[in-house]
Amino acid sequence: MNIRPWRRTELSFTAERSHSDPYTGVELWADFTHQPTGTVLRRPAFWDGGSTWRLRFASPAATGVWTWRTDGDVDDPGLIGLTGELTVVHAESARRFERHGFWRMSPGARSLVHADGTPALLVADTAWALPWRATPDDARVYAADRAAKGFNAVLLMSVQPDMHARGPRDRTQDEGFDVGFEDLKDGRLARLDPAYFQYLDGLLDILGEHDIVPVLQPVFQGFGWKGRSVAGTVVPPEEYERYCRYLVARYGASPVVYLVGADGSGEEPQIAAGGAEIEAWDAYGQPCGVHYRPHGRSRAHQGAGWLDFQWCQTGHSGEHLPERVADMRRNEPAKGVANGEPTYENSGTTGKGAGWWQGHEAWSNLCAGGTMGVVYGAGSLWQWRLHAEEGDHEPYFLAPGCGWREALDFEGSRYVGLIGRVLDGLPTTDLRPDWDRAMAGRALSSPDGTLYIAYVEHGGPLRLNPETAETFPRSFRVIDPRSGETVSQGVRPADELTVPDVGGAPRVFVCHDG
């Protein structure tokens, strides 16, 4: 079989013997060996209903041949000891992740890079409930809008997490939702429904067609969907661990980020169990981390090998709190940092966190040290409220008079989405806060000093530090972050200590000698 680099390939196997508990009772995997390098990648398989198991693989090599062989813990000739060969055929692709490979953490652990080293910045939305509320038509509308605005990732609860949520098993009816585990309502993760995940495959494929990476959260530890007893804190850790392995098996041969803990303290036993399992089975080193509740220090498992990033949350009160990000960045060893949940736009009250508030928040968090990326959220969108009148949601989190479709059009999302485009193509790997080289309170520099980025809330000229001006980049662009347009550009004379701009409006200075 011919395959293309970094594109998912699927192998299917049919059991020849009956297995009474195929999800919990069968372990199956394959080792892929690359010639001529001898590299070995192990990928887990997953049960997909009936007597069918599937295995998904993507080649990180641009050429060569992968030979594979299945193994496991069952005596079944339909599953164990099977072999095959995959030949990698190079082909040009317009898809970013097929050209550059999946995301991983940077050499300094502070930012994202593609497998080939190309710098990347996460620009994420929060459509938490999309997996179990959206239809394919919904997902197409959503993905087209977010991709057009510049988003490249979305935070998702992989299953509806509230044990006591009630509603029809219908994505098109009020209060309806689909179910991934029949026993989640009992605090268990043993009775998996393959049909749910087959449907989810289609939704994630739609996101992937728009280069939007799913940030998959197994089972929420915090508020959940409606605050009705989340299962993520009570399921047996071994069942949470198994489900994390299943997510790696099913979705880990495509671009993905693993959000192993969400909205809790980070110390819940399920999180460490799941993180270690992801590390053990993820052959591609895709990012794995934790997103915290608003109160706490956001540093659980800081030294764990499986943990790549820490995302704080500043709550939904409409305050700018970039010091939370700055404080988290000081933790050692170094990890990727972001504010994973600022105030959702129009959450609870029309106008809260609205419009340019979101742009200012994102640039402030980025420059405070949240160099993994920026995250945006909107009331009524994250719950996937079907329409403006759908009831039985917590009013504090809803955008008054809006369903998910109206929330897509909130003004603030445009400003957050623009950040990735403003910085695209720049050497943003392992940027660090810089308060020394110019009189700007929010700024970042590259490790080699050739790139300097400043966000100046009210605009005006950028004044350099005379002591370091000799090494300051001379080429500059001044950008309006509300539109992404370059308002001026040029090369600063060597004896000039000011980058010019007229004050009164937000500005981003990009100074780069590259």
Average pLDDT over residues 469-485: 97
> With 90 as the cut, is the pLDDT of residue 483 above it?
yes
Q: Please give the pLDDT value at position 92.
A: 87
Phi, psi dihedrals of residue 429, rounded to the nearest 5° = -65, 125
Average pLDDT, the chain: 97
CA pair distance 498, 501, nearest whole angstrom:
9
Tokens linked to 299: 């540093």
Q: Please give the pLDDT value at position 286.
A: 98
Contacts of 270 (CB under 8 A, 6+ apart): 218, 219, 221, 232, 233, 235, 237, 240, 241, 261
Q: Which helix (H) or strand (E) holds 207?
A: helix 194-209
pLDDT tens digits for range 304-325: 999 999 999 999 999 999 999 9
Q: Please give the pLDDT value at position 163.
A: 98
CA pair distance 131, 384, nearest whole angstrom:
10
- Whole-prediction pTM: 0.98
| DSSP 8-state class, residue 463 | E
**Three-point CA angle 297, 300, 302, nearest 5°:** 110
What is the per-residue DSSP string for 62-99? SSSEEEEEEEESS--TTTSS-EEEEEE-----S-HHHH
Q: Please give the pLDDT value at position 41.
A: 98
**Do the Cβ atoms of 64 and 34 come closer than 8 Å?**
yes
What percentage of the chain carries pLDDT values higher than 90? 98
CA pair distance 425, 422, nearest whole angstrom:
9
Using pLDDT thresholds of 50, 70 and 90, give the confidence band for residue 162.
very high
Average pLDDT over residues 351-379: 98
CA pair distance 150, 147, nearest whole angstrom:
5
Using CA atoms of 186, 377, 127, 386 in order, give the dihedral in degrees to the nearest 10: 90
Q: Which helix (H) or strand (E) holds 277?
A: helix 269-281
Using pLDDT thresholds of 50, 70 and 90, give the confidence band for residue 441.
confident
First vs last C-alpha separation in the chain:
42
| DSSP 8-state class, residue 469 | G
**Three-point CA angle 482, 485, 490, nearest 5°:** 130
> With 90 as the cut, is the pLDDT of residue 438 above it?
yes
Using CA atoms of 491, 429, 368, 456 in order, give the dihedral in degrees to the nearest 10: 20
| DSSP 8-state class, residue 320 | -
* Backbone torsion region of residue 427, taken as left when φ is above 0, otherwise alpha when ψ lies between -120 and 50, otherwise beta: beta
What percentage of the chain carries pLDDT values higher than 70? 100
Average pLDDT over residues 473-490: 98
> With 90 as the cut, is the pLDDT of residue 329 above it?
yes
Contacts of 158 (CB under 8 A, 6+ apart): 131, 180, 200, 216, 217, 218, 219, 247
pLDDT tens digits for range 102-149: 999 999 999 999 999 999 999 999 999 999 999 999 999 999 999 999
> With 90 as the cut, is the pLDDT of residue 248 above it?
yes
Q: Please give the pLDDT value at position 236.
A: 98
Instruction: Report CA torsion sign: 357, 377, 392, 135.
Output: positive
Using pLDDT thresholds of 50, 70 and 90, give the confidence band for residue 514.
confident
What is the per-residue DSSP string for 33-59? EEETT--EEEEE-EE-STTEEEEEE-B
Q: Please give the pLDDT value at position 356.
A: 98
Using pLDDT thresholds of 50, 70 and 90, give the confidence band for residue 446.
very high
Average pLDDT over residues 329-349: 98
Average pLDDT over residues 23-48: 98
Q: Please give the pLDDT value at position 347.
A: 98
| DSSP 8-state class, residue 306 | T
pLDDT tens digits for range 48-92: 999 999 999 999 999 999 999 999 999 999 999 999 999 999 888
CA pair distance 505, 164, nearest whole angstrom:
48
